[in-house]
Amino acid sequence: MYVLGFQVKSFFMKISVYLIGILFAIVSCTKEDINGPVNTVTTFGHGFEPAALYCNLGDTVYFDLGGGHNAIEVSEADYNANNAAPLSDGFQIDFGESGFFVPSESKIYYYVCTPHLPEMKARIIVE
């Protein structure tokens, strides 16, 4: 009986080690998915998700915007002043559209949603 009890116990130990392993895998996947498997900006309420996207030079940044939202690149000054003045040669994704842009400079790109300023704005930090 003792031997059987020991076997049952070690079986449950193995199962819990296995479950902990799965849990860690799920948690680490969630962390990886902060920016998604690719760099994707989505909208949630009156906000861009993520508010700060970190990526590398030459990465493709995808936008998947909800119906009432656009994404207009602005200067840092206009970003801070909540002014939706499009940056000349900046990226622009229209209302509810999907699109992408490829950052060509290591810098911070600032962008806003025109109707939802001052709350709806975000940054793309290119390293």
Residues that bind Cu ion (CB under 5 A): 69, 113, 116, 120
Q: Tell me which residue has its CB nearest to Cu ion.
A: 113
* Residue at token pair 């840092």: 76
> Whose Cβ is closer to Cu ion: residue 39's or residue 70's?
70
> Of 76 and 119, which CB lies nearer to Cu ion in the complex structure?
119
Residue 116 or 124: the one with the smaller Cβ distance to Cu ion is 116
The least distance separating Cu ion from the CB of residue 48, rounded to whole angstroms, comes to 8
Kindly state the smallest distance separating residue 32's Cβ from Cu ion, in Å.
27
d(CA 59, CA 62): 10
Q: Nearest 10 degrees: CA dihedral of 57, 33, 116, 86? A: 10
In the complex with Cu ion, which residue's Cβ is closer, 121 or 126?
Answer: 121
Q: What are the C-alpha distances in Å from 49 to residues 45, 53, 93, 120?
A: 10, 8, 15, 10
Token code pair at residue 20 = 């902990």
The minimum distance between CB 51 and Cu ion, in angstroms, equals 13
